[in-house]
Chain A
Amino acid sequence: MQLNTNNIVDSFSNGFTGLINDFISNNANSIVWFIFLFIFAFFLIYSLILVYHWLKYGIGSFTVWFAMIAYFSVSLICIILMYLSAIIIF
């Protein structure tokens, strides 16, 4: 009896990817918002720590103020883009 390995691999990969596809398509909305909130929380925690250090040790320094402006400007643009694209996706 000859074993058709191609069929086995196909059926396995179709079943596996099908499972992932079903999961993603059924929970796509939640996944996108979960990623958004996760990254936003990461940003908030890191920003708090960074701002604490900048204000405590770098107060009065022009470089630190410039860094703060650059950091928050680019971050804000990224967050707005993430939020808007998350809305557009659904």
Chain B
Amino acid sequence: MSIFTLSKDEKIIAVIRKHWFILLRDSFGLIVIYIVPFIAYWYFFDNTITPKILIDKIYTNFTPSIMIFTISSWTLIIWIKLFAIWTDYYFDVWFITNKRIIDIEQKGFFRREVSTFRMERIQDVSINIKGIIATFLDFGDIHAQTAGESQKFIIKGIRRPKQIKEIIMKLSDKVIK
């Protein structure tokens, strides 16, 4: 792994990513933006409220080749942006090893934060599942308090937070003993 190096007796216990619903929520705006021009086109097409000038300028001049050019250009732009969102989502990852938690956060393209929390420094771990969707799809946030400093670390929108909390607590207890 090029992002971090494991020590000799260290092994990865779990690799955690955000729930797929987070990706859906983040890309929802983009999907709406993509659909709006199509809805507007079909709604105003042959509609009595559409001014004649608009019909003359847009609809009568809209040949199939112009339409294909417009749709494919628009699709390409949205497709690229969608993968930018996916990249941001996919590279937000947490590695739980038997010794520490490695938190890798991709913030945009050119900002990447890698933080490490040693298991023996972890004190309280709590989970936060907010709302009906999070309850049914089983995702939420994990809040962990670290000793020695008043810093809290939060893992947001992860799958199965209860199980992950149990894993962290067990590993933390094991390290302390």
Contact = CB atoms under 8 A, between A and B. Distances in A.
B2 A56 contact: yes
B53 A57 contact: no
Contacts of B73: 35-36, 39, 78, 82
A75 interface: yes
Contacts of B13: none
Interface residues of B, number: 24
A74 B3 CA distance: 30
Contacts of A46: 80, 84
Interface string A6-47: 000000010001000000000000001001100100110011
Contacts of B106: 53, 57
Interface string A37-67: 0010011001101100110111100011001
B109 to A, nearest CB: 5
| Interface of B, helix, strand, loop or mixed by DSSP | helix
Given A13-B53, A42-B77, A82 B90 contact: no
Interface string B104-122: 0010010000000000000
B47 to A, nearest CB: 20
B48 to A, nearest CB: 20
A43 B76 contact: yes
Please indicate which of the listed interface residues B3, B80, B106 has the most CB atoms of chain A within 10 Å of its own CB: B80
A52 to B, nearest CB: 9
Nearest to A90: B65
| Interface of A, helix, strand, loop or mixed by DSSP | helix
Contact of B53 (A17, A59, A78): A17
Contacts of B3: 57
Contacts of B84: 46, 50
B50 interface: no
B77 A50 contact: no
B109 A49 contact: yes
Nearest to B109: A49
A63 to B, nearest CB: 7
A3 interface: no
10 contacts: A43-B76, A57-B91, A64-B90, A67-B83, A75-B79, A78-B73, A78-B76, A79-B72, A82-B72, A85-B68
